Amino acid sequence: MEEPAESIRALTDRLDRDVRQVHDDLQILSEYRIVHFREAGSAKQPHVPYDTVKIEVELTKSVGDTSESPASA
């Protein structure tokens, strides 16, 4: 992305997503200290203070689950 968004609302416009969904996603990323917020007047300006973010996710089946996942079908 180009310049950081001026506010959460500006980010939702840029992403063409619902404000509530973006807000919820940002809160989760904030809990993991990936996204931080700056106070910009009455707006919260989300920013990522890193050059690179690497996220690793391991997905496993539940014990006893014999169904195929859509990804492996």
Is 33 domain-assigned?
yes
- Residues 9-21 have a mean pLDDT of 95
**Residue ranges making up the domain that contains 13:** 8-47
Provide the pLDDT for residue 70: 62
Is 43 domain-assigned?
yes
Is 64 domain-assigned?
no
Q: Which residues pair with 47 in a beta bridge?
A: 36
Is 40 domain-assigned?
yes
Query: Is residue 23 within a helix (H) or strand (E), and if so which, with residue range?
Result: helix 19-31
Please give the tally of structural domains in the chain: 1
Provide the pLDDT for residue 73: 47
Is 34 domain-assigned?
yes
Per-residue pLDDT of 16-71, as tens digits, reads 999 999 999 999 999 999 999 998 788 889 999 999 989 899 988 877 767 766 65
d(CA 65, CA 16): 36
